[in-house]
């Protein structure tokens, strides 16, 4: 027999009798979702979640079925506190054993913490953790057992969501206990089934016979389509259409998103491509020494980024902040997440921690970035950015994030593009087009991908390989040459003050840079052999993108070098004091022949008193057949 101290709950406010309404009234006594436990109905699966949106009593309208919980600061004098009702199995509006119907998925879920009695026993055995009164019980996180007990109530894990199963979730799909329906009624042996019958997991039979067959699949195939500004609309033989949206358009990205504290995107603030005209905003958090905490979280509005692909590239954030005083020490950084419509968040990239150098009330800017290799996403997914800080000092201190206004606006530069033209040098090298091919491969007819009828494409379009009976155009350009783009990664190599030349490896796995003997790569070619050009090419090369980060203290140069012939290609000069940005030369060329090797070298002349050098990140070059 259980020793758990269950008792019918009472509260300090009590009724004198049963409440009812007149028989003719059309309203009820209350809404089911406002009761404590029992049976409730909600619309979305996310309504089962529980969100802790700040400090103090958590009274958040986004929690459809809340608990009675107070979030402390983490300091000994400010603990977390969970308040149970006097039955000790309910808190707020949640009660162990309650049933909730979710309209979105047409299922009933039961709330159950499987190891509840053992959690309770451990908590009550810990000194100062559990305080019982006539009308309720308070559980503090002053012990490990108390924290474990509170975690069980705040978890809100759901079966078959985010990897949780029936045995590990607290919201479990409700199953009629005592018998398995399939054991009671299946297999069928003869008989008649009356009325509509639904098979949710498929139907297998030797013979299916019916008077009328409905909803049989139609052989649907594409007959044409139009492309406009990042969207492709396809037409099929039934007169229907489907649209592929969210194509990244333009170059390698660089769309700016602003951290807007004054606008909310529940449960967070706003991460938007549009800035505000509001005055400067601040938000602060106090962090214990050695602890990492979130200062503020931001989410893109509904409909943003409206993409089916996150391009590979850097996420760069320009944050403004200050620390409490000169004794404080903090590193600040960002975490970028992908958030589904169901509220599931997946970490994409964590940027490098950057020290906060100024004290209250004077903000300074910190640049922190990180590289993400890219992935496909749903167009309904949103981006969440969490600005976090680590207290690297030996005392409790606060840190303040500053944004908006005209002087200290914090923002991020994403890999998404805001240009207006789709460019792909090769179809096989364009992952977005490959994704589209995968998504619509089953939409083409049986002849292997033939588009029947007229296909109209508006705007500039680049195709690699096209077969047609007749190709007609008003103007033909760049015949018969072809070109290919290669991307190189400089891995944020810093070019120290006073170094003669650095080589940047353009092929295979990047290696650490070393000072080269000459400006051509000369004696260092064993370390920086360069990129061997493909067999059979004889052409010219153009550097189309160079990126420098951290302002140089002197005029710095970037040069394309043919290490096989010790000759220069284009030279870009970045003036002293230039801000981080993109530096491009689309005109200068260097000659090469088959298998000759190409590399990039950088020069940063010595300047007395300078202690750091600019960083080089990514770039690209392309060759074109002559």
Nearest to 332 by CA among 295, 378, 361: 295
161 and 288 both lie in a single domain: no
Percentage, residues of the chain above pLDDT 90:
42
pLDDT grade, residue 529 (50/70/90)?
A: very low
* 493 and 408 within one domain: no
At 123 the three-state DSSP class reads helix
Q: What is the pLDDT of residue 177?
A: 54
Of the three residues 149, 173, 197, the one that is the final residue of a domain is: 173
Same domain, 518 and 376: no
Buried (b) or exposed (e) across 319-336, using 16+ Cβ within 10 A? bbbbbbeeebbbbbbbbb
**CA 583, CA 586: separation in Å to the nearest integer?**
10
What's the CA gap between 154 and 71, in Å, rounded?
Answer: 11
Residues 592, 513 share a domain: yes
Q: Do 368 and 498 reside in the same domain of the chain?
A: no
Q: Provide the pLDDT for residue 240.
A: 83
**Domain of residue 329, CATH code:** 2.60.120.260
- 65 C-beta neighbours (distance < 10 Å), count: 24
Question: Is a pLDDT exceeding 70 seen at residue 136?
Answer: yes
pTM above threshold 0.75:
no
The widest CA-to-CA distance across the chain, in whole angstroms, is 99
162 & 76 share domain: yes
3-state SS record for 127-156: CCCEEEECCEEEEECCCHHHHHHHHHHHCC
The rounded distance, in Å, linking the Cα atoms of 234 and 231 is 10
CA dist 113 and 152 (Å) reads 7
Q: In this predicted model, which residue has the larger pLDDT, 578 or 301?
A: 301
- 425 with 485: CB under 8 angstroms? yes
Cα–Cα distance, 27 to 506 (Å, whole number): 74
Structure-block tokens of residue 620: 């690209």
| pLDDT at residue 264 greater than cutoff 90 | yes
- How many other CB atoms are found less than 10 A from the CB of residue 350? 16
* pLDDT tens digit sequence for 351-398: 999 999 999 999 999 999 999 988 889 999 999 999 999 999 999 999
d(C-alpha 215, C-alpha 238), whole Å: 14
Q: Domain range spanning residue 327?
A: 256-413
Residue 360's Cβ-count burial label (10 Å; 0-12, 13-18, 19+) is: middle
- Asked if residue 50 lies in contact with residue 156, where contact means CB atoms within 8 angstroms, the answer is yes
From the list 622, 357, 408, the residue with the least C-alpha distance to 506 is 622
- Per DSSP, the three-state class of 621 is strand
Residue 197, classified by CB atoms within 10 Å of its CB into exposed (0-12), middle (13-18) or buried (19+), is exposed
Q: Indicate if 262 and 396 belong to the same structural domain.
A: yes
Asked whether residue 208 is assigned to any structural domain, the reply reads no
In a domain, 436, yes or no: no
Confidence band for 74, pLDDT divided at 50, 70 and 90: confident
Kindly tell me if the per-residue pLDDT of 521 is higher than 80. Answer: no
CB 571 within 8 A of CB 557: yes
Burial per residue of 534-559, b for 16 or more beta-carbon CB atoms within 10 angstroms, e otherwise:
eeebebebbbbbbbbbbbbbbebbbb
Residue 122 binned pLDDT confidence (cut-offs 50, 70, 90): very high
C-alpha to C-alpha distance for 401 and 611, rounded to whole angstroms: 28
Strand partners, 200: none
Q: Is residue 3 predicted with pLDDT exceeding 50?
A: yes
Closest-CA residue to 220 (of 454, 445, 437): 445
Domain match, 498 and 398 both: no
Residue 281 lies in a domain: yes
25-46 per-position pLDDT tens digit: 888 888 888 889 899 999 999 9
Q: Is residue 270 part of a domain?
A: yes
Q: Does some domain include residue 454?
A: no
- Which of the two residues, 148 and 624, has the higher pLDDT score? 148
CATH number at 602 reads 2.60.120
In a domain, 243, yes or no: no
**Which residues partner with 324 through β-bridges?**
none
Q: Which of 273-277, 492-496, 516-520 comes out lowest in average pLDDT?
A: 516-520
Q: Give the integer Cα–Cα distance in Å for 567 and 564.
A: 8
Residue 70 confidence (pLDDT): 94
Cβ contact 414:318 at 8 Å:
no
Query: Which carries the bigger pLDDT value, residue 1 or residue 175?
Result: 175
Burial, 405: exposed, middle or buried (Cβ in 10 Å; 0-12, 13-18, 19+)?
Answer: middle
Q: What is the mean pLDDT of residues 119-142?
A: 91
pLDDT score for 121 = 92
* pLDDT score recorded for residue 492: 56
Q: Are 235 and 222 in contact (CB under 8 A)?
A: yes
Q: Would you place residue 234 in the very low, low, confident or very high pLDDT band (cuts 50, 70, 90)?
A: confident
pLDDT, residue 505, reads 46
**pLDDT at 578 exceeding the cut of 60:** yes
Q: For 533-574, how does the pLDDT look when each residue is reduced to its tens digit (9 = 90+)?
A: 655 544 455 555 555 555 676 677 777 666 667 676 667 777
199 located within any domain: no
Question: Residue 385's closest CA among 275, 273, 280, 300?
Answer: 300
How would residue 80 be classed by pLDDT, with cut points 50, 70 and 90?
Answer: very high
- In a domain? residue 235: no
pLDDT digits (tens, 9 = 90+) for 49-62: 999 999 999 999 99
Cβ(154)–Cβ(83) below 8 Å = no
Looking at the fold, whether 275 and 395 belong to one and the same domain comes out as: yes
> What is the pLDDT of the chain when averaged over all its residues?
77
| pLDDT (0 to 100) of residue 227 | 56
> Does 493 share its domain with 406?
no
Domain stops at, among 413, 442, 463:
413
In this structure, what token pair is assigned to residue 490?
């400089």
Q: Return d(Cα 445, Cα 296) in angstroms, integer.
A: 51
* Contact residues for 102 (Cβ-Cβ < 8 A; gap 6+): 42, 43, 44, 45, 47, 48, 108, 109
Say whether both 347 and 492 belong to one domain: no
What is the phi/psi pair of residue 262, to 5°?
-80, -15
**Domains of the chain: total:** 3
Tell me the per-residue pLDDT of 276-301, one tens digit each, with 9 for 90 and over: 999 999 999 999 999 999 999 999 99
- Domain end (from 389, 413, 437): 413
Give me the pLDDT at residue 259, please. Answer: 97
């Amino acid at each position: 027999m259980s020793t758990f101290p269950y008792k019918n709950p009472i509260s300090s406010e009590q009724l004198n009798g049963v409440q009812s309404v007149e028989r003719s009234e059309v309203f009820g006594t209350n809404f089911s979702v406002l009761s404590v436990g029992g049976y409730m109905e909600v619309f979305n699966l996310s309504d089962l979640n529980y969100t802790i949106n700040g400090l103090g009593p958590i009274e958040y309208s986004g929690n459809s079925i809340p608990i009675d919980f107070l979030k402390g600061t983490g300091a000994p004098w400010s603990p977390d506190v969970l308040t149970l009702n006097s039955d000790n199995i309910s808190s707020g509006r949640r009660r162990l054993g309650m049933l909730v119907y979710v309209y979105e998925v047409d299922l009933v879920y039961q709330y159950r913490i499987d190891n509840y009695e053992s959690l309770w026993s451990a908590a009550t055995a810990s000194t100062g953790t559990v305080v019982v009164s006539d009308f309720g019980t308070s559980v503090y996180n002053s012990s490990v057992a108390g924290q474990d007990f509170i975690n069980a109530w705040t978890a809100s894990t759901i079966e078959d969501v985010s990897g949780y199963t029936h045995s590990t979730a607290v919201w479990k799909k409700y199953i009629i206990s005592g018998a398995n329906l399939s054991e009671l009624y299946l297999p069928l042996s003869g008989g008649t089934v009356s009325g509509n019958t639904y098979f949710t997991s498929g139907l297998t039979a030797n013979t299916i016979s019916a008077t009328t067959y409905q909803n049989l699949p139609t052989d649907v195939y594409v007959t044409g389509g139009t492309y406009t500004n990042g969207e492709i609309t396809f037409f099929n033989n039934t007169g229907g259409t489907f649209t592929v949206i969210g194509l990244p358009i333009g170059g390698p990205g660089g769309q700016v998103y602003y951290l807007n504290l004054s606008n909310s995107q529940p449960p967070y603030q706003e991460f938007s491509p549009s800035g505000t005209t509001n005055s400067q905003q601040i938000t602060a958090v106090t962090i214990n020494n050695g602890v990492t905490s979130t200062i503020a979280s931001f989410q893109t509005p509904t409909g943003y980024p409206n993409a089916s692909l996150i391009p590979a590239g850097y996420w760069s954030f320009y944050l403004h902040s200050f620390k409490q005083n000169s004794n404080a020490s903090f590193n600040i950084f960002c975490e970028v997440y992908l958030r589904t419509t169901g509220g599931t968040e997946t970490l994409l990239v964590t940027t490098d921690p950057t020290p906060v150098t100024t004290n209250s009330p004077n903000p300074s800017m910190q640049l922190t970035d990180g590289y993400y290799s890219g992935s496909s996403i749903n167009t309904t997914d949103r981006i969440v950015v969490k600005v976090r800080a680590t207290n690297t000092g030996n005392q409790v201190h606060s840190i303040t994030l500053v944004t908006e206004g005209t002087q200290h606006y914090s923002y991020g530069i994403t890999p998404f593009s805001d240009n207006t033209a789709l460019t792909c040098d090769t179809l096989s090298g364009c992952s977005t087009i490959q994704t589209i091919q995968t998504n619509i491969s089953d939409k083409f007819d049986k002849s292997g991908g033939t588009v029947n009828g007229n296909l109209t494409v508006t705007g500039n379009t680049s195709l690699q390989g096209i077969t047609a009976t007749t190709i007609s155009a008003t103007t033909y350009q760049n015949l018969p040459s072809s070109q290919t783009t290669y991307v190189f990664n400089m891995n944020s190599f810093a070019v120290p003050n006073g170094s003669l030349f650095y080589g940047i490896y353009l092929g295979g796995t990047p290696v650490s840079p070393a000072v080269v003997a000459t400006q051509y790569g000369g004696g260092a070619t064993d370390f920086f052999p360069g990129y061997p050009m493909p067999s059979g090419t004889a052409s010219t090369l153009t550097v189309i993108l160079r990126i420098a980060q951290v302002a140089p203290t002197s005029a710095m140069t970037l040069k394309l070098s043919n290490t096989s012939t010790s000759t220069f290609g284009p030279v870009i000069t970045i003036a002293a004091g230039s801000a981080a940005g993109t530096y491009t030369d689309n005109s200068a060329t260097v000659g090469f022949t088959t298998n000759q090797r190409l590399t990039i070298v950088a020069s940063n002349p010595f300047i007395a008193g300078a202690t750091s050098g600019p960083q080089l990140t990514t770039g690209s070059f392309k060759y074109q057949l002559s």
